[in-house]
Amino acid sequence: MERKYEFTGETTEIDFQKLHRIVAVRDFGVVSAGDLGGWIKDENNLSHDGTAWVADEAAIYEDALVEDDAFAMGRVRVRGSAHVGGEAQLSENSCVEGDTYIRGKAQVYGCAHVHGSTLVEGKAKVLGYADIAQSAHIDGNALVSGNAEIRGNSHVTGTVKLHGDASVCGNALIRSDEDWITVTGFGSGGMCATFFHGSDDKIYVQYDGFYGTIDRFREKIKGTKYEGTFMPAIKAACIHFNSFSHDCENESEIIVEESDEFVSSFGKYRGLLLFEPIDINVNRENGTKYWMDKDMADYRFGYVMAVEKLKEEFKDSCVLEAVLTPHSYYGGNLRNPLNFRLRCVREDGIVRVYPM
């Protein structure tokens, strides 16, 4: 084994650990002889093999190891028994600890925190203030950002983008962006409820310490002051996941059936993160004007929630008017407000929605 770095003699203390600055003694990868590196406790923290390197003010200590062609830079902290290998990259203010394994071409940056016995691999990216814990597994081209939390035995894979205040746990299996939704704005603190698929193909809810199936959540809030607030969201989630078997078998009375016209007219807006009702005015002559704004949930929530309101006022049919403002569109690509009207016809308990 040919040595590729040595200690400079400069030391610092982090978390009551004495760490040593390193300097490269030969060229390898993007590193040249003489380049100053970051901090390690001893040579067990950074392999002399491969092109692995610790740069800037990054610190590797305790029993953590950076090996293969991995790279740690910025003010990264890697500690505990964490292993960083392959071509993984850690940067900025991210922290990796516990028995975590980061490998492949995975990237962890921002202020992300990866700990527990988690595995991040493939080309997955974890950034922002995301928190990955317990035995979670992130792979594929998945991107986890914002304040998202992933815990338990959750598996996030494919090209999923899990962001915002999303929180999944237990046996969550998130393989596409259709496998999860969040509804926010509950309570004075604007709390967020996350609905997601489990590996058993059931729909689960994570909200304010509660974790369980939609059925359990429905039972928990039944008869409480929260029932009126959460029931429309539960029903909308059932529609989103197209799951009226299993956990949503009791929701047949509010099925919203999208006509071919509707799908062809509004299909391109699937995946918009819209929602939060600003104002709902029910009028027997003019129908309901439903204003959607801010960066909340799926566009389908708009008419589902409106239909729920309309069920209280109308027995047969109604007209729903909606306005999407430019900043309602996730990514900001909708330059002008989009006005559309939907005709909601209720027959035999089924609400059919058509564009007008």
User: Residue 332 corresponds to which tokens in the numbers above?
Assistant: 């900001």
Residue 205 one-letter amino acid: V
Closest CA to 129 of 165, 89, 179: 165
Long-range contacts (CB closer than 8 Å, 24 or more residues apart) made by 51-60: 52/85, 53/24, 53/28, 53/29, 54/22, 58/90, 59/14, 59/19
pLDDT at 56: 98
Determine how β-strand 273-274 pairs with β-strand 287-292.
unpaired
pLDDT of residue 332: 33
Length of the chain: 356
**H or E segment at 306?**
helix 299-311
| Helices 227-240, 299-311: inter-axial angle, 10-degree rounding | 130
DSSP state of 356: -
Contact 296, 327 (CB under 8 A): no
User: If you compute the radius of gyration of the chain from its CA atoms, what whole number of angstroms results?
Assistant: 25
pTM: 0.71
Query: Is-contact 58 52, C-beta < 8 A?
Result: no
What is the per-residue pLDDT across 249-269, written as a single tens digit (0 to 9) for each? 443 333 344 445 444 444 433
Q: Which residues of the chain are under the pLDDT cut of 50?
A: 243-259, 261-342, 349-351, 353, 355-356
What does the block give as tokens for 234?
């539960």
- Domains of the chain (ranges, CATH numbers): 5-164 (2.160.10), 179-254 (no CATH), 256-355 (no CATH)
pLDDT tens for residues 288-315? 333 333 333 333 344 444 444 444 444 4
Q: Which residue has the tokens 């046996």?
A: 171
The Cα–Cα gap between 234 and 24 comes to 57
Coil, helix or strand at residue 81:
coil
